[in-house]
C-alpha cells in the first residue's frame, strides 16, 4: 500500500528547475501512506512529474521501487494498491516472452499493459488499485481507479496544471493550488456525512469515480498556443456495478441451497487465501460479528500458524463488542490482541480528524476505526477486514425492516401519519422507548431511542423510496442550511443512476454499493488505516469475481426470516458455533450524544457560536443553534446533525490562510 501524486504542467511560464522540489513536497505529504521509501520521476520538458511513497508489502527489494518504468521504456507508473492475481498474470506473460527483474505486482501490471493495452489489462486485474500511467510515446497521462473505489484518487486543475494524488493534502502542496470551498458539495456532505464522488469540498477538484479511467492528452510541447487536444470531461467506465447487479439478478445461481453455500465458501476461501500473500506480518480485524468472523475463520483454516487478530473494546456496554470477538478468537485459536480504550483516548483522536481526512467526513466510527488500526499496526503491516458483507449479503436492518414498516404504516392516510410523526417528535428522547410497544420487533435492537427517533421521522414518508432516502440522510434539506448553495443531483436523488430492478430491497443494496460503501465505509477505512501506515484488504470487495457471484444469489439466500446474511451465516457456522455469533447487530461507534452534553460541550459550543457561524458565512445559524439547544436539554438526540457541523467547523480551522 502506498501513496501516489503528480502533476502535468501545461504552462509555458513554469520554471523547469522547480519541478523536482515541487513534486518532492507533494510526495512528502503522503509519508504516512508509505514510510519505507520514496521516489520521484520528472520529465520537465514534457511538463510531467510523478511522486511515490512506499509501504513495502511485496518484493521488499529495490526492484519493487516506484515510479517504475516498463521494460520497453514506454510507460512510467505510480501505483497504490494490490493486484492479487499477479502471479497468475506473471506466468501467462512470461509464456508470451516477457522477462521480469523482480517479484512485484507493479512490474506485472506494466507488462500486462504493454501486452494487452491499458483497458484490457485493467479488466484482468483482481484487486484494489489506484494508479497514474504516463505514456512517454503518446504523451498522455491516464488515471485508473479500482472497481468499487477501495483506493482513493483525486484530481483536478490548478490554473493550467493538472494535479492528482491519493489524498487532497498532496494536491494542496502544489504552489498553484487555491482553496475554494464548493458550497454545493457542502450540501452533499450535510446529507450523507461524507462527500460522494465525483465531488470534493474544493471547486475544480474531483474524486475519480470507481471503475473508471480518465485520460489527459497534451496537444504538443508546453508553450504552444493550444496546449490541450482533449481532456475527457467524464471518466470512462471499464466496469459497471449496475451491469453486474442487473446481470446477476437476471441470471441467478441455479443450484440448491447446499450448492450455493458450498460455492460461496469456495469463492471466499480463494479470495481470502489470495489476500494472505505478503512479505510482511499479516493479521485481521475481528469484531465478533458475522463478516469479520467469516474472514478470520477462513484465514485460520488456511494457516498453519495462529492468525493475529485485533479488536478494541469500550467500557460503555452499548458500544462494546470485544467480549464477542474474544470468544470467536478463542474458538478459532487465533493470536488475539484486544485493547480497552478509555473515553479520553477515543476523544484524543478528534483533533486528528481534519488533517487525516483532508475534507469534512463525519462518520463517528472513524474514531474506533483509527484506534483499531493503530493497535494492529503495532504488530502487523497488513490486516484483512470484513467490509462489504452487509452490502453484498443484505446485512443492514433497513433491507429487511423497510418492507415490514411499510406494511404497517402504508395503509394509513399520509395526513394522519404526518400528525403522528409530529407528535412523536415532540416526545423527549428519554421517553422514546414507549413507542416501541407498537413495534415490538424493533425492541431487541441496541440504542432503542435512536431507532425510535428514526421511526418518528420516517412514518411521514409517502413511499418506500422516500423512507430509504430519509434513512440514509442526515440533514433532510441541506440546501436550506448552507447559504448560497444548491444540492447537486447524485445517485440517490437521480433515478437515472438506479439499476433496472423489480425489488426495492435489491435497489437499496445496489444504491448502498455505489454510494455509502465507497463514499463512507471505504474512505473511512483507508484514511484511518493509512494514517497508521497499515494496509487493509477487503476480501468481500476487492475480488470482483466473489462480488459478482454474490449478486447472482437469489435474495432469499440473503434475507430470510426477518434477518440478513443468511447464506453468509451458513458458511460461517461451518467454522464457528452459531451461539457465538447470534445477537442483535451493533454498530462500530462511540457515544457522541453524551460526549456533546459532557466533555465535548465546551469545544462544541465554541465551534457552534452563533456569531462565529454568521461571520464565516457558510451556514444559517438558526437551525443549528436550535438543534444544539434541544440536544443539550435532552429533548432530542441530534448527534448526527451536530457532528456534521462540528467536523466541518473543525476542518475549516485547518484550511484558513
DSSP 457-489: HHTT-SSHHHHHHHHT-SSSSGGGTBTT--PPP
Q: What range does the domain containing 164 cover? A: 2-177+209-239
Q: What pLDDT shows up at residue 562?
A: 85
Q: What pLDDT shows up at residue 307?
A: 97
Q: DSSP 3-state assignment of 147?
A: coil
Does 200 map to a domain?
Answer: no
Number of domains in the chain: 4
Q: What pLDDT shows up at residue 224?
A: 45
Q: What is the pLDDT of residues 260-290, one digit of tens each?
A: 999 999 999 999 999 998 888 899 999 999 9
Cβ neighbours of residue 629 closer than 8 Å, sequence gap 6 or more: none
**Grid coordinates standing for 597?**
452534553
Q: What pLDDT shows up at residue 132?
A: 98
Residues 605, 573 share a domain:
no
Residues 77, 213 share a domain:
yes
**Grid coordinates standing for 545?**
469475481
Distance between CA atoms of residues 504 and 514, nearest Å: 15
Q: What is the pLDDT of residues 630-642, one digit of tens each?
A: 999 988 889 999 9
Is the Cα torsion angle 198, 6, 59, 105 positive or negative in sign?
A: positive
Provide the mean pLDDT of the chain.
91
Q: What pLDDT shows up at residue 222?
A: 43
Q: What pLDDT shows up at residue 334?
A: 97
Does 639 map to a domain?
Answer: yes
Does 542 map to a domain?
Answer: yes
Does 193 map to a domain?
Answer: no
- Of 539, 466, 476, the C-alpha closest to 508 is 466
DSSP string computed for 577-635: -GGGT-S----S---HHHHHHTTTHHHHHHHT-HHHHHHH-SB-HHHHHHHHHHHHHTS
Q: What is the pLDDT of residues 292-320, one digit of tens each?
A: 999 999 999 999 999 999 999 887 666 67
CATH code for the domain of 100:
3.60.20.10
Looking at residue 266, the DSSP 8-state letter turns out to be H
114 catalytic, yes or no?
Answer: no
Cis peptide, bond prior to residue 198, ω within 30 of zero: yes
Q: What is the pLDDT of residues 582-610, one digit of tens each?
A: 876 666 678 899 999 999 999 999 999 99
- Among 545, 580, 615, the domain boundary falls at 580
Residues 74, 33 share a domain:
yes
Q: What are phi and psi of 21, to 5 degrees?
A: -65, -30
Given a contact cutoff of 8 angstroms between Cβ atoms, the answer to whether 287 and 321 are in contact is yes
Average pLDDT over residues 375-382: 96
Residues 469, 434 share a domain:
yes
Q: What pLDDT shows up at residue 10?
A: 87
Does 516 map to a domain?
Answer: no
**Location of C-alpha cell 501506515:** 533
Does 515 map to a domain?
Answer: no
Query: How sure is the predictor about 234, in pLDDT bands with cuts at 50, 70 and 90?
Result: confident
Residues 566, 617 share a domain:
no
The active-site residue, picked from 2, 77, 312, 367, is: 2
Does 185 map to a domain?
Answer: no
Residues 310, 365 share a domain:
yes
Residues 87, 55 share a domain:
yes
Q: What pLDDT shows up at residue 486?
A: 96
Q: What percent of the chain has pLDDT over 90?
A: 76
Average pLDDT over residues 416-424: 83
Question: Is the whole model's pTM more than 0.85, yes or no?
Answer: yes
Residues 406, 502 share a domain:
yes
Does 108 map to a domain?
Answer: yes
Q: What pLDDT shows up at residue 62?
A: 76
- Of 72, 10, 80, the C-alpha closest to 51 is 80
Residues 149, 45 share a domain:
yes
Please list, residue by residue across 515-552, b when 16 or more beta carbons sit within 10 angstroms of its beta carbon and e when fewer do.
bbbbbbbbbbbbbbbbbbbbbbbbbbbbbbebbbbbbb
Residues 429, 379 share a domain:
no
Residues 384, 464 share a domain:
no
Residues 60, 13 share a domain:
yes
Query: How sure is the predictor about 656, in pLDDT bands with cuts at 50, 70 and 90?
Result: confident
Distance between CA atoms of residues 145 and 238, nearest Å: 10
Q: What is the pLDDT of residues 397-409, one digit of tens each?
A: 999 888 888 888 8
- Of 143, 153, 4, 137, the C-alpha closest to 67 is 4
CATH code for the domain of 279:
3.40.50.620
Amino acid at each position: 500500500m502506498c501513496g501516489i501524486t503528480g502533476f502535468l504542467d501545461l504552462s509555458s511560464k513554469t520554471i523547469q528547475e522547480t519541478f523536482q522540489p515541487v513534486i518532492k513536497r507533494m510526495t512528502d505529504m503522503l509519508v504516512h501512506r508509505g514510510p519505507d521509501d520514496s521516489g520521484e520521476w520528472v520529465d520537465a520538458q514534457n511538463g510531467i512529474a510523478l511522486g511515490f511513497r512506499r509501504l513495502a508489502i511485496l518484493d521488499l527489494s529495490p526492484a519493487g521501487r516506484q515510479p517504475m518504468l516498463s521494460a520497453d521504456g514506454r510507460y512510467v507508473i505510480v501505483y497504490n494498491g494490490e493486484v492479487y492475481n499477479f502471479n497468475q498474470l506473471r506466468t501467462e506473460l512470461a509464456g508470451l516472452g516477457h522477462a521480469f527483474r523482480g517479484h512485484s505486482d507493479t512490474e506485472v501490471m506494466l507488462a500486462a499493459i504493454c501486452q494487452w493495452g491499458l483497458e484490457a489489462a485493467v479488466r484482468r486485474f483482481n484487486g484494489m488499485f489506484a494508479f497514474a500511467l504516463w505514456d512517454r510515446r503518446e504523451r498522455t497521462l491516464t488515471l485508473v481507479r479500482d472497481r468499487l473505489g477501495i483506493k482513493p484518487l483525486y484530481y483536478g486543475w490548478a490554473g493550467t496544471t493538472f494535479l492528482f494524488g491519493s489524498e487532497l493534502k498532496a494536491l494542496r502542496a502544489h504552489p498553484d493550488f487555491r482553496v475554494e470551498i464548493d458550497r454545493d458539495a457542502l450540501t452533499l456532505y450535510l446529507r450523507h456525512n461524507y462527500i460522494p464522488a465525483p465531488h470534493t469540498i474544493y471547486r475544480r477538484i474531483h474524486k475519480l469515480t470507481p471503475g473508471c479511467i480518465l485520460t489527459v492528452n497534451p496537444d504538443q510541447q508546453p508553450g504552444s498556443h493550444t496546449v490541450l487536444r482533449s481532456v475527457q470531461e467524464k471518466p470512462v467506465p471499464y466496469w459497471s456495478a449496475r451491469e453486474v447487479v442487473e446481470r446477476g439478478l437476471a441470471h441467478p445461481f441455479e443450484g440448491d441451497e447446499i450448492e450455493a453455500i458450498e460455492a460461496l465458501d469456495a469463492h471466499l476461501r480463494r479470495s481470502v487465501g489470495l489476500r494472505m500473500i505478503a512479505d510482511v506480518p499479516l493479521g485481521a480485524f475481528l469484531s465478533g460479528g458475522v463478516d469479520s468472523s467469516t474472514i478470520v475463520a477462513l484465514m485460520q483454516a488456511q494457516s498453519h500458524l495462529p492468525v493475529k487478530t485485533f479488536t478494541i473494546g469500550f467500557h460503555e456496554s452499548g458500544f462494546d463488542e470485544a467480549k464477542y470477538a474474544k470468544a470467536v478468537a478463542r474458538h478459532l485459536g487465533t493470536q488475539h490482541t484486544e485493547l480497552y480504550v478509555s473515553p479520553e483516548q477515543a476523544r484524543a483522536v478528534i483533533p486528528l480528524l481534519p488533517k487525516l481526512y483532508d475534507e469534512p467526513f463525519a462518520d463517528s466510527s472513524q474514531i474506533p476505526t483509527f484506534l483499531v488500526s493503530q493497535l494492529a499496526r503495532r504488530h502487523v503491516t497488513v490486516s484483512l477486514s470484513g467490509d462489504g458483507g452487509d452490502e453484498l449479503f443484505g446485512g443492514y436492518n433497513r433491507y429487511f425492516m423497510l418492507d415490514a414498516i411499510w406494511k404497517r404504516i402504508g395503509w394509513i392516510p399520509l395526513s394522519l401519519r404526518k400528525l403522528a410523526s409530529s407528535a412523536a417528535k415532540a416526545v423527549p428522547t428519554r421517553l422514546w422507548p414507549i413507542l416501541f410497544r407498537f413495534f415490538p420487533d424493533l425492541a431487541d435492537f441496541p440504542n432503542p431511542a435512536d431507532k425510535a427517533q428514526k421511526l418518528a421521522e420516517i412514518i411521514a414518508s409517502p413511499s418506500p423510496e422516500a423512507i430509504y432516502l430519509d434513512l440514509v440522510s442526515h440533514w433532510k434539506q441541506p440546501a436550506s442550511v448552507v447559504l448560497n448553495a444548491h444540492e447537486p443531483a447524485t445517485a440517490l436523488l437521480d433515478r437515472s443512476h438506479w439499476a433496472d430492478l423489480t425489488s426495492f430491497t435489491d435497489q437499496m443494496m445496489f444504491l448502498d454499493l455505489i454510494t455509502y460503501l465507497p463514499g463512507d465505509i471505504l474512505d473511512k477505512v483507508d484514511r484511518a488505516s493509512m494514517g497508521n501506515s497499515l494496509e487493509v484488504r477487503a476480501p468481500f470487495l476487492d475480488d470482483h469475481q466473489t462480488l459478482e457471484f454474490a449478486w447472482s444469489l437469489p435474495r432469499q439466500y440473503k434475507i430470510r426470516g426477518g434477518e440478513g446474511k443468511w447464506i453468509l451465516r451458513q458458511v460461517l457456522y461451518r467454522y464457528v458455533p452459531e451461539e457465538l455469533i447470534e445477537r442483535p447487530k451493533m454498530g462500530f461507534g462511540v457515544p457522541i450524544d453524551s460526549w456533546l452534553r459532557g466533555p465535548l460541550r465546551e469545544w462544541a459550543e465554541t465551534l457552534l457560536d452563533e456569531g462565529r457561524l454568521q461571520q464565516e458565512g457558510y451556514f444559517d445559524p438558526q437551525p443549528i443553534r436550535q438543534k444544539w439547544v434541544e440536544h443539550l436539554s435532552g429533548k432530542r438526540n441530534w448527534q448526527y446533525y451536530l457532528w456534521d457541523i462540528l467536523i466541518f467547523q473543525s476542518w475549516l480551522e485547518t484550511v484558513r490562510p
